[in-house]
Amino acid sequence: MSEKQQNPWIEGLQTIGLSVVLALGIRQFVAEARYIPSGSMEPTLQINDRLVVEKISYHFNPPERGDIVVFWPPEALFPAGKRRDAFIKRVIGLPGDTVEVTDGTVFVNNEALDESYIKAPPEYQWGPEQVPEDEYLVLGDNRNSSYDSHAWGFVPRDHIIGRAVVRFWPPSRLGGLE
């Protein structure tokens, strides 16, 4: 009673192939790791922080004010053929909201936002402008050193890759994001 033994090389290749397919599938559809290359989200995110970005929830629910999102910036910001890197910012304005930045305060629908997470009050004036349908206004937490919606406009929903949910590096700052 002998069972047919599979060649170990074929078995190894099948295991590696399945692992690659699963890894690519998870990264494409479920979650991926990202790192922070700039100080535009300080103090919430520091340069070289590593994050997990989940990609599933926005298929069922729209982004909410306060979410930290990773997205593809508008193509118009980059010369033809130049590689675009994803940006990370905080959602401030939702579709239909009227947003204004004046006297160091962000107002959404004429109500001042409580922004305990920002590095310093914004030193610029912007708006008022209404956020178009299916688009979002995003700002960096380091308002005065962030290349964000106040400089180039709104982010279409289909440009949003996912929501940053947890920091996994450095270990001293491990945890969820608010």
Residue 74: is the preceding peptide bond cis (ω within 30°)?
A: no
Q: Estimate to the nearest angstrom the gap between the alpha carbon of 58 and the chain centroid.
A: 12
How far is 168 from 53, CA to CA, in rounded Å?
11
Decide the pairing of beta strands 68-71 and 160-169: antiparallel
Tell me the residue type at 71.
F
Q: Estimate to the nearest angstrom the gap between the alpha carbon of 30 and the chain centroid.
A: 14
Q: Could you tell me which of 116, 165, 109 has the C-alpha nearest to residue 137?
A: 109
Question: Of these residues, 55, 89, 146, 149, which one is catalytic?
Answer: 89
- Tracing tokens 């192939």 back to the chain, one arrives at 17
Question: Of these residues, 40, 55, 146, 149, which one is catalytic?
Answer: 40
Does residue 4 have an active-site annotation? no
Q: What backbone torsions phi and psi does residue 59 show, to the nearest 5 degrees? A: -80, -20
Does residue 2 have an active-site annotation? no
Residues identified as active-site: 40, 89
